[in-house]
Structure 1
Amino acid sequence: MSRIPHPEVDVPRQLPPWGLTRGGENSRLRSTAALLTSLTALAATSLVAGPAIAEPTGGPCALRRTTAHHSEGLDTWNTAYPRPIENLNAVMVFLSFPDSPPLSTPGELAADYFPATSQFFERASYGKFRLTPHPQPEWVQMPHGSLSYAIQRDWNAKRRAAYLRDAMAAADPKVDFSRYDVVYFVADPDAPGVDSDATKVVNFDRPMRADGTDIRRIVTVFERHPPDRNVLAHETGHVFDLPDLYHRPTDGKGDWDTYVGDWDVMGSQFGLAPDLFGWHKWKLGWLDRRQVRCLGAGTERLTLDPLAAPQAPGGLGGTRLAVARTGRGTALVMEARGSLGNDHATCTEGVLLYEVRNEAASGGGPVEVVDAHPDSGACWGESVYPQLADAPVRAGESFTVPGEDVRVEVAGRTASGAWTVQVTTG
């Protein structure tokens, strides 16, 4: 099983137009000019946030959104992305190939991802968001064999564009894309040309048009059956404007998990504690600004509720996040992590510290966990990066953040399981 994460990718600009059919009637649904641009995309490291921003969503200590791709600034919401509040509908289109009759049914493949992915987001959002899947019941056959598309991780741009063009043309007569907020194209995992490392989110600089609606991004899934754990939660996170948190070695060798280890699914879908960082929950609207404590200079005592603990129905609960600004575009964040919810498999508990940078793009280290135990590790043989598995400050410990005038002391836990913390800054 591969432990290499999946990035977002680009698509070339030169594409021929195509005609689509719906309900047995042939019709050209798009003009040639639109077709030449609709499948254009930018690389994950260069796609800008765009001018479309909605109402302020931040609060105390909220970093400013920048033009970095998937910027961790959260003072505004980019309306180019669907915001995961209440309910979003996701369509799963299953693609087969003429060179390989499928060995599985669409229903069997849908069960690989749902309800697990919906449950992940329901837990992470405290029940504030539901991702409703709509798996299509039949295979949609591609016009060419799977080997002809040369599917692979670092995919030839023209071949990738041809795949997307053919997939949309084949699916459109059977799927009303105007009904859905999220689109998954799932390839037959047993086809000989399908490479599981090619699973990606494709972002378009100009949206595709189908059924009168804009499609700004598509999740292309090439996973094995059964797939990598939490892979669809990771990819869907990109659809909600969350960045890749892993480190991609420049020479293709080395460890991918040095930035955040197990501590967020956007770093690794295999993490022992893959719940989203509290910063991401704040960004997505699942934490209210009243649950975020902005720390000033001096000493402050606070109680942190475990990040993954359910919230009382109709109530906000206590503080889940403490933030100390360390610069114009940086912040030091504190949250309590324990063996609850999506983090049930973690082998360490305590107050986790990490630095957030609003200028760092997806894949460029926008978040880095601060290791409170740099000379040791934990969860060997299970953790994706044992050196960070014991990163949290545990009860009875104190820790001074290197390079910052911030000291954290964890006194213990309350009867309800909350963590009592004293923070000295400045």
Structure 2
Amino acid sequence: MTTPPPGQSLQDAIDAAGSPIDLLWKPGQAPWAVPVVEPEYVGWAAEQDAWRSGVALSDLSFHMSDTFLTGPDATRLLSEVSANNYESFAIGQAKQFVPVAADGNIIVDGILLRDAPDAYVLTGVPASQNWVKYHAEKGGYDVEYTTNADSSVRKDGDPALFRFQIQGPQALELVASAFGGPLPETKFFHSTMVRLAGRPVRALRHGMAGQAGYEFIGDYADYDAVKDALLAAGAPLGLVHVGGLAYFTNGVESGWIPTPTPAIYTDPSLADYRRSLSRFSYEGMKPLNGSFFSRDIADYYVSPWELGYGRSVSLSHDFIGRDALAAAKDAVRRTKVTLELDRDDARRVFGDDDGYVNSYGRHRIEHDGRLVGMTFYSSTIAPLGRRLSLSLVDTEFAVAGTEVEVVWGEHPGAGTAPDADLGLPRMRALVQPAPYNEYARTAYRSHMA
């Protein structure tokens, strides 16, 4: 990692703003958009329906950062900065990467794929990658790394890798057509190397929103050839190309909270880490907004236990935050749930029943006027005719069928009491499980175990 010039670090930005909240609170901020990929191809609602009723192609080549890590100490480094189990990590397997700070709260997750005994690729938003790279340098590990930033950050050049996700009830039929037959039997979240259009491709057994499918990964130089082959194989099946609007809604049903606030902003022992990050980094620019406001940034931190990542956590080795994470296991006070927003109330707030909503706002969830949780990810799911909010609520209110209220709107931030009555609209909501999608909640989750 390159140390930012004087005055340009995350710590400098926090000092200049007065606090992490004063730096990050940005009411009315529009959700981040997928770079390069069109927002819609045949319409976001039809694209949402494609991965549940037919077959869909999502192009994931542009919106994620990749860090390639190699060297004799690669496994030891990753083991010492994350809660994952590396004793049961096969070559070609991927895992949900779970790094935590000393307080046991998550930095940000990612997808970690083991490419060789001493080689890994970490993919996702940059925060977890920054965490790994910092400790690689400070800990004197014998490793090398390179990072290919997402296309909204990278100044020039192409991505390092292409990623195409094929999902839906007809996904395996499309794959068999494209490859001339079924691919080798592969465990969920494991991969096998194959060839398509004469190019080497990694086929990762995967799916989103509970649907069957594969993620195909390879050198970006082969992007056009591989994509054209998938599109040609999918044409007789009515393959639908998914745009950026629809793609960003699939996590709500599958129960994935994509951008938790990294637990790095106030711990004095992380001051040097904050100085290693640019004020223009993900950690310095990722906005907070919504009706839930607190002056304490720690009120936005979340635990892997709350996020439902227990299957990915191994306490059998020493890592940063292990003791705090272990202590928190039996003291989890919040549970991840899905809120079904009342249709009439949602229509009053958002307008048309089928209007697009996608928000990462942290909105207040109340019960009898008392704060009991916050939303993290809210979207319209057109095939269900529902607006859903993936949320954390106090465990006593996590029972399916419990009625709560969501306060929707923007708190102005500093200078206004966190619980001020701002006259914001309220919507009734029913608590339901997370993942909301039954297949994702049952069969899909059993594969993840």
Normalising by structure 2, we get a TM-score of 0.29
Higher relative contact order (CA 8 A, sep 6+): 2
More helix by share: 2
